[in-house]
Amino acid sequence: MARPDRRRRSGRRAHHPRVVAGQPGHPDGTRTRSPRSARPPRERPGAAPVADETSEQRLARLEAENKALRTEKTKLETEREILRQAAKYFAGETNW
C-alpha cells in the first residue's frame, strides 16, 4: 500500500534547471539561463535592412514581401471559410 506522505516523483524533475544547478559540476548560473538564450536569434520579416541596400533593391524586397503576405492572407481566408462551413455543417447534424 502506498504511503500518502511519500509521493512518487516524475523522472523529468531530475532534469529541471534548478535541480541540475544544484549538482556538482554545474555553475549556479545554469538555473537563470533558459534554453532560448543558447539559440541564435530568429530572423524576422521586416528586420533591419542591409545598410548598403539601394532604393531599387529596397523597393523590390518590400514588393516581394508584400506579395508573400498577400498570398498568406488569401490562404488563411480560404482556410477560415472552410472551417466556418464545416462548423455550420456539423452544427446542423447535432440533435440536441
Domain definitions of the chain by residue range: 65-96
Mean pLDDT score across all residues of the chain: 76
> Using CB atoms within 10 A of its CB, is residue 21 exposed (0-12), middle (13-18) or buried (19+)?
middle
> What pLDDT digit, counting tens, does each position of 30-86 carry?
555 556 666 666 666 666 656 789 999 999 999 999 999 999 999 999 999 999 999
Total residue count of the chain as it appears in this document: 96
Q: Which three three-digit cell numbers place residue 26?
A: 554545474
Torsion of CA 65, 67, 70, 71, to 10 degrees: -110
Please give the radius of gyration of the chain, using alpha carbons only, rounded to the nearest integer.
26
As a whole number of angstroms, the distance between CA 82 and CA 80 comes to 5
Flag whether pLDDT at 95 surpasses 70: no
Task: State how far the Cα of 67 lies from the Cα of 45, in Å rounded to an integer.
Answer: 13
Give phi and psi for 40, each to the nearest 5.
-70, 150
